Structure 1
Amino acid sequence: MVYLTGDTHGDIERFKHGKLRWLGKRDVVIVLGDFGFVWDGSKEEQKKLDWLRKRPYTLLFLDGAHENYDLLAQYPEEELFGGKVQALGGNVYHVCRGSVLTLEEKKYLCFGGAESPDREEREPGVNWWPQEMPSDEEYASCEQSLAANNWQVDYVLTHDAPSKFLDFSALAAGESNRLHLFLDKILLKMQYEKWFFGCYHKDAALSTKSRCVFCDVIPMK
């Protein structure tokens, strides 16, 4: 079965307790950004990654605002579940932006990235990377993937959310950025069953078709 959860920020305890502890070889876990286990390259971090690599299930993650994109870029790209991923070893993979994955006969559009609200206080290359926001090529790749699927998927998985979701909730304040507007654009063009996103550290259903995920572990039945 496929399971979704929200931002983990390098916290291994999410995987050691609760539902995730009992998953097996046929299961897939998807973290909706801010994975946080590719951050400082320390021995402690590598120890955590090694532990995750040994889990029986497949672990996929979207990128968020708090990943070390220089470290992430070192991992090789390959194709998995019909989309583009980076292999981190074992059963751990980063899902590249714009990939449409086919899992248990369902199609998942995956698109990471977000803008750090505190980026002015962060140091480039140390705890902030401009790659947190998608590039022109990544936006184009996402639209190409959707076009190849006739603009129809079962589920949409993102780290941030369309401004249309945020405007009608108490999740975020401030002006919309380019990513929000891009997600608005594809929201209007495509057909989908449900949209899941992380980023806002809350577990909340915004509507029957949209849900913010943090600590919940959601089985995709």
Structure 2
Amino acid sequence: MIYITGDTHGPKSIGFNSVDGVLHRFNSNNFPEQKNMTKNDYVIILGDFGCIWNVDNESSSEKNVLDWLDDKSFTTLFIDGNHENFDRLYNYPEKQWHNGKVHEIRNSVLHLMRGYVFNIDNKNIFAFGGASSHDIKDGILHPKNDLKLIKRWKHDYTKQFRILNYTYWELELPTKYEMDRGINSLKCNDFDVDFILSHSPSSSTIDILGNNNYKHDILTDYLENIKNTTKYKYWFCGHMHINKKISDKEIILYEQIIRIN
């Protein structure tokens, strides 16, 4: 069995009645299906996992939630979003897994690296994480050079800014190597897969949604090219914080957990 869901944004819910938080999303009341699952069943998070976020190393809350997930009956998989600590994420051990490569966070908590076609439960799944942050209209600040400004804006909730390599990483957008790898992986599968999983929508999907906060970028255009050249049954993405069916083949997810096979 394969289930998928959208952004979780860290271990715990944020705010009153928030749908965020791994502990909230995957407790037995909200996800009772887990009672009949094994480690050969999978839950895939469509980016902004948020449980690898602390600057230098694993915080106690991160350790607790990652151990908690590892103890679950199922295997947790995730693609990256834009809100991940990429310095730490990309330093976890890599291993071959189901025809692709993953970062091994725990024995049964795995990061699906960008640009591979994984064979999971007899389904070919192309995974490509990443997205542009849109909550940065006041800029990306340097932790040393902009320290005075950071202190002044810290409690000014009208300011939308992030701090380089503390709350923002340039690797939220893919490298050329990752994009080339994705195209080569699809080519090896004759541009024909069962599912495509991304955090960011494609450019045409952003246009359909009509949200001016979200713009075309190198990744949305890349995904648009894949949409136009690849045969797929369904495409699932996150990032937009909505549950919405875009077309018969494309679905955006947030807090909903759905089975796809």
Give your verdict on TM over 0.5: yes
Q: Rate the CA distance shift 1:218–1:67 in 2: closer, same or farther, 3 A.
A: same
Deviations 1:175-206 (A, max 9, x none): 31110100111111111111100000101101
Let me know the Cα RMSD of the aligned residues: 1.3
Larger radius of gyration: 2
C-alpha displacement of 1:134: 0.3
Given that 2:134 and 2:213 are in contact with CA atoms closer than 8 Å, whether structure 1 keeps it comes out as no
Match of 1:176 in 2: 216
C-alpha displacement of 1:71: 1.3
Separation in 2 of the partners of 1:89 and 1:38?
12
Match of 2:149 in 1: none
* Alignment of structure 1 residues 1-221 onto 2, 5 Å: 1-10=1-10, 11=21, 12-16=23-27, 17-19=29-31, 21-25=34-38, 26-40=40-54, 41-119=58-136, 120=139, 121-171=161-211, 173-221=213-261
Separation in 2 of the partners of 1:189 and 1:150?
10
Tell me the amino acid that sits aligned with residue 134 of structure 2.
P
Please, what TM-score do these two structures have when normalized by structure 2? 0.81
Deviations 1:86-105 (A, max 9, x none): 10112000000011111222
C-alpha displacement of 1:23: 4.9
Separation in 1 of the partners of 2:194 and 2:228?
15
Please, what TM-score do these two structures have when normalized by structure 1? 0.96
C-alpha displacement of 1:171: 4.9
C-alpha displacement of 1:74: 2.1
Deviations 1:110-156 (A, max 9, x none): 00000111232100111111011000000000001000000110110
Separation in 2 of the partners of 1:84 and 1:172?
35
Separation in 1 of the partners of 2:211 and 2:4?
19
Given that 1:35 and 1:64 are in contact with CA atoms closer than 8 Å, whether structure 2 keeps it comes out as yes
Given that 1:171 and 1:200 are in contact with CA atoms closer than 8 Å, whether structure 2 keeps it comes out as no
Tell me the amino acid that sits aligned with residue 30 of structure 2.
G
Tell me the amino acid that sits aligned with residue 24 of structure 1.
M
Given that 2:131 and 2:173 are in contact with CA atoms closer than 8 Å, whether structure 1 keeps it comes out as yes
Q: Secondary structure at the match of 2:106?
A: coil
Query: What are structure 2's unaligned runs of at least 5 residues?
Result: 11-20, 140-160
C-alpha displacement of 1:173: 4.0
Given that 1:23 and 1:57 are in contact with CA atoms closer than 8 Å, whether structure 2 keeps it comes out as no
Match of 2:158 in 1: none
Percent of aligned pairs with the same amino acid: 35
User: How many residue pairs are counted as aligned between the two chains?
Assistant: 221
Separation in 1 of the partners of 2:210 and 2:195?
23
Separation in 1 of the partners of 2:73 and 2:35?
10
Q: Secondary structure at the match of 1:18?
A: coil
